Amino acid sequence: MESNTLTNLQNYITADTETRDKLREVVRELDVPCRGLTMPLNKIHVAKTDEDIQAVVKEAKESFGAIRPIIQRLAELVPPERYYRYNDIWGRTMQQAVFAAALITYLESHQMITPEQLKEYLGVAVKFDNDHVTEFHISVEEYLHGILSLPSELARFAVNSATHQAYHRPMQISEFVSRLFLSFQQLNLKNDSVRKRFDSLKYDVKKIEDVVFNVSVRGLCQ
Amino acid sequence: MATQANSYELFHQIRDTLDQHYDRRERLIKLSRDITQQSKKLIFHLLRINATNRDRIFAEADKRHQDILALFTRAAPELQGSDRWRYAGNITGGLQEYIEALALWWFLRDRVLITIDDIEAQLNLVLPDPSQPRWVVLPSDYLLGVADVGGELMRHAISSLAKGDPNDALQICTFLQSLCGDFETLTGPGQREANKKLVVLRQCLAKVETACFQAQLQREEYGDKVDVTLWTEEESADAPHTSYG
């Protein structure tokens, strides 16, 4: 190879590896508050009253104050043109953050998180089109994966709520998850990871319906 | 109720987005496969070269090349801007095979290693209008494609020796030595694909080096009197060879 071709290639590879390393480092940092989120959110399964739940939500929401600036730093490191070169690095972490924000929103309002709300939580928007990337964003796949983590968590929440005599919750959860199921049914999913997650959704739906059945057959909820 | 309607609309949009993305990916995978097939044929065609048919081989290669370029032109609009990276993994197979074919061609014709600029010039040759989508060759495509030429050149070197042309084999040997050396400086931890190809490249080089060494020994012992067909198993169908009897 001509020496300048060789140098160019070497420089390219070095720069690429450096960017990757830097991004990995930031993602590791981002992992800390994201994992920190799961701890308070786990408490919803032991919280008895609705007031307890709201206290948990309040605690969890505080973590986003730490998450946003790290995502911002990540965004600054990623050249938009090469977004897809590196987006596997933060995919899982971003899914977790989306999931936490969606769960908190559900606990507060029993509604699906809107893209606007998600942007407030994470500081970056979801990109719902296929246009060329011009800025850092949450990908549709990350968004769908994050949302798809809700049903299994909520199925568990339904079971534990009934245990804690909060008999009104399983009904709410059931309604919410069936709406979510209908939404996902509109998609023509390929045989990929989103599809796999979606396929397991029906088991969660069934689990929640079981709880609702058991509660209502005993006349425990109006 | 309002949010329900919004969610319905949102998932409609997501469906359209995903459909579009999957369709595009599918199209590129198909094109990549077609490019691979045609490039493989081009490689086989180029390997039929011998001392007498060079011009004919290259002229025919040119024709085949045009067909491959037509496939690339169809893929180009789908691979602009950030999409170049989004679908890089779907097209790289075909592109690497094509680069391998071109690298072989360039070596057989000019005894040089093809450059990224050469490849991009070929890919963008058919675009008279500068506003049309351009092809960008990624350094990783280039490296992985060029590494594969080692195998083809090894085959060619062995058959050159079989035809009694040790000079050609020696040139290939020198070329591969330099290519392998360059590769050593370019690979490293974290480049799994490139490292795998380097292993194969080293093996090819070793075979060519051994073959050249043996040829040299033969020449020392028997001079030019050696009947090449006695010590080779390979015979080229194109080569007019002497019979055993």
Eight-state DSSP code of residue A126: B
Residue count (chain B): 245
Contacts of B178 in chain A (CB under 8 A): 1
Number of A to B CB contacts under 8 A, please give it.
Answer: 87
Q: Chain A within 8 Å of B20 (Cβ-Cβ)? A: yes
pLDDT tens-digit series, residues A130-178? 999 999 999 999 999 999 999 999 999 999 999 999 999 999 999 999 9
- Residue B101 belongs to a domain: yes
Predicted confidence band at B6 (pLDDT cuts at 50, 70, 90)?
A: confident
Disruptive mutation site among B25, B85, B193 for chain A (greatest number of A CBs within 10 Å): B85
The answer, yes or no, to whether residue A4 has pLDDT greater than 90, is no
User: Does the distance separating the beta carbons of A114 and B6 come in below 8 Å?
Assistant: yes
User: Does the distance separating the beta carbons of B13 and A187 come in below 8 Å?
Assistant: no
The confidence score (pLDDT) of residue B239 equals: 46
What is the distance in angstroms between the Cα of A13 and the nearest Cα belonging to chain B?
8
pLDDT tens-digit series, residues B126-138? 666 767 788 999 9
State how far Cα A148 lies from the chain centre: 8
Other C-beta atoms lying within 10 Å of the C-beta of residue B172? 28
Per the structure, the complete domain to which residue B215 belongs is given by: 149-237
**Tokens coding B20:** 């579009």
Disruptive mutation site among B4, B6, B7 for chain A (greatest number of A CBs within 10 Å): B7
Q: Chain A within 8 Å of B110 (Cβ-Cβ)? A: no
User: Do residues B55 and B21 share a domain?
Assistant: yes
**Tokens coding B150:** 């080692």
- Residue B242 belongs to a domain: no
The confidence score (pLDDT) of residue A212 equals: 94
The confidence score (pLDDT) of residue B1 equals: 39
The confidence score (pLDDT) of residue B215 equals: 87
Domain end among B98, B117, B147: B147
The answer, yes or no, to whether residue B174 has pLDDT greater than 90, is yes
pTM confidence score: 0.87
Predicted confidence band at B4 (pLDDT cuts at 50, 70, 90)?
A: low
**Tokens coding A163:** 């245990």
User: Do residues B22 and B59 share a domain?
Assistant: yes
Distance CA A104, CA A198 (A): 21
Instruction: Give me the residue from A9, A17, A133 closest to B143, CB to CB.
Output: A9
Mean pLDDT across A20-49:
91
Helical pair A168-185 and A201-217, crossing angle rounded to 10 deg: 150
User: Does the distance separating the beta carbons of B82 and A82 come in below 8 Å?
Assistant: yes
**Tokens coding B156:** 């060619």
pLDDT tens-digit series, residues A46-65? 888 999 999 999 999 988 99
Contacts of B8 in chain A (CB under 8 A): 183, 186
Q: Chain A within 8 Å of B112 (Cβ-Cβ)? A: no
What is the distance in angstroms between the Cα of A146 and the nearest Cα belonging to chain B?
14
User: Do residues B30 and B136 share a domain?
Assistant: yes
CB A31 within 8 A of CB A92: no
The answer, yes or no, to whether residue B229 has pLDDT greater than 60, is no
Residue pointed to by tokens 């494609």: B145
- Residue B201 belongs to a domain: yes
pLDDT tens-digit series, residues B13-43? 999 999 999 999 999 999 999 999 999 999 9
User: Does the distance separating the beta carbons of A184 and B11 come in below 8 Å?
Assistant: yes
User: Do residues B170 and B133 share a domain?
Assistant: no
User: Do residues B93 and B214 share a domain?
Assistant: no
User: Do residues B24 and B132 share a domain?
Assistant: yes
Instruction: Give me the residue from B11, B12, B182 closest to A6, CB to CB.
Output: B182
- The ipTM estimated for the assembled molecules is 0.90
User: Do residues B158 and B120 share a domain?
Assistant: no
User: Do residues B130 and B157 share a domain?
Assistant: no
The confidence score (pLDDT) of residue A191 equals: 80
User: Does the distance separating the beta carbons of A130 and B20 come in below 8 Å?
Assistant: yes
User: Does the distance separating the beta carbons of B8 and A115 come in below 8 Å?
Assistant: no
Domain with B126 in it: what CATH number? 1.20.58.190
User: Do residues B15 and B134 share a domain?
Assistant: yes
The confidence score (pLDDT) of residue B236 equals: 45
The confidence score (pLDDT) of residue B228 equals: 52
Predicted confidence band at B194 (pLDDT cuts at 50, 70, 90)?
A: confident
Domain end among B114, B147, B180: B147
Give chain B's domain count: 2
User: Does the distance separating the beta carbons of A112 and B88 come in below 8 Å?
Assistant: no
User: Do residues B191 and B208 share a domain?
Assistant: yes
Mean pLDDT across B97-105:
97
Supply the mean pLDDT for chain A.
92
- Residue B243 belongs to a domain: no
CB B5 within 8 A of CB A181: no
User: Do residues B96 and B120 share a domain?
Assistant: yes
The confidence score (pLDDT) of residue A112 equals: 94
Closest C-alpha among A94, A72, A84 to residue A147: A94
The confidence score (pLDDT) of residue B244 equals: 44
User: Do residues B12 and B107 share a domain?
Assistant: yes
Instruction: Give me the residue from A82, A183, A186 closest to B85, CB to CB.
Output: A82
The answer, yes or no, to whether residue B242 has pLDDT greater than 50, is no
Disruptive mutation site among A3, A20, A21, A85 for chain B (greatest number of B CBs within 10 Å): A85
The confidence score (pLDDT) of residue A222 equals: 64
Domain with B187 in it: what CATH number? 1.20.58.200
CB A201 within 8 A of CB A148: yes
Residue bearing the bigger pLDDT, B141 or B2: B141
The confidence score (pLDDT) of residue B224 equals: 64
User: Does the distance separating the beta carbons of A111 and B3 come in below 8 Å?
Assistant: yes
Domain end among B105, B129, B147: B147
Distance CA A119, CA A126 (A): 8
Which chain A residue lies closest to B9 (C-alpha atoms)? Answer: A183
Which chain A residue lies closest to B24 (C-alpha atoms)? Answer: A130
Residue A34 parent element (H or E): helix A3-42
What's chain A look like in SS3? CCHHHHHHHHHHHHHHHHHHHHHHHHHHHHHHHHHHHHHHHHHHHCCCCHHHHHHHHHHHHHHHHHHHHHHHHHHHHCCHHHHHHHCCCCHHHHHHHHHHHHHHHHHHHCCCCCHHHHHHHHCCCECCCCCCCCCCCECHHHHHHHHHCHHHHHHHHHHHHHHCCCCHHHHHHHHHHHHHHHHHHCCCCCCCHHHHHHHCHHHHHHHHHHHHHHHHHCCCCC
- Residue B224 belongs to a domain: yes
| Strand-pair partners of A126 | A138
Mean pLDDT across B75-85:
93
Q: Chain A within 8 Å of B184 (Cβ-Cβ)? A: no
Q: Chain A within 8 Å of B226 (Cβ-Cβ)? A: no
